[in-house]
A = this chain, B = another copy of it.
Amino acid sequence: MLMPPADAYPEKSIVTQLRAYLAQADLPQDGRIPPERDLAVALGVSRTELRKALDVLESEGQLWRHVGKGTFMGSRPLDTFADIAALARRSNPAEVMRARLVIEPEIARAAAFTATPAAISEMRLCLARSRQAETWRQYEGWDARLHRTIAEATQNSLLLGLFDTLNAVRRAVTWGRLRTAPVKPLPSHHSFTEHDAIVDAIEHRDMTGAAAAMRTHLRSVERKLLDKQDARADEG
Binding site for B on A (CB under 8 A): 29-30, 59, 61, 75-85, 87, 90-91, 95-96, 98-99, 102-103, 105-107, 109-110, 125, 129, 141-142, 144-145, 148, 154, 156-159, 161-162, 164-169, 171-172, 174-177
For the complex, give the distance between the alpha carbons of A107 and B106 in Å: 11
On whether the beta carbons of A162 and B164 are closer than 8 Å, the reply is no
Besides A29-B176, A81-B164, A82-B168, 19 other A-B contacts (C-beta < 8 A): A29-B174, A59-B125, A75-B141, A76-B145, A78-B148, A78-B167, A78-B168, A80-B85, A81-B84, A82-B164, A95-B158, A95-B159, A98-B159, A99-B158, A99-B162, A102-B103, A103-B106, A158-B166, A165-B165
Given contacts A82-B84, A174-B29, contact A162 B103 (CB under 8 A): yes
For the complex, give the distance between the alpha carbons of A91 and B157 in Å: 6
On whether the beta carbons of A162 and B158 are closer than 8 Å, the reply is no
Q: Which of B77, B78, B162 touches A162 (beta carbons < 8 Å)?
A: B162
For the complex, give the distance between the alpha carbons of A84 and B176 in Å: 30
The smallest beta-carbon distance between A53 and chain B, in angstroms, is 18
Given contacts A59-B125, A98-B156, contact A144 B78 (CB under 8 A): yes
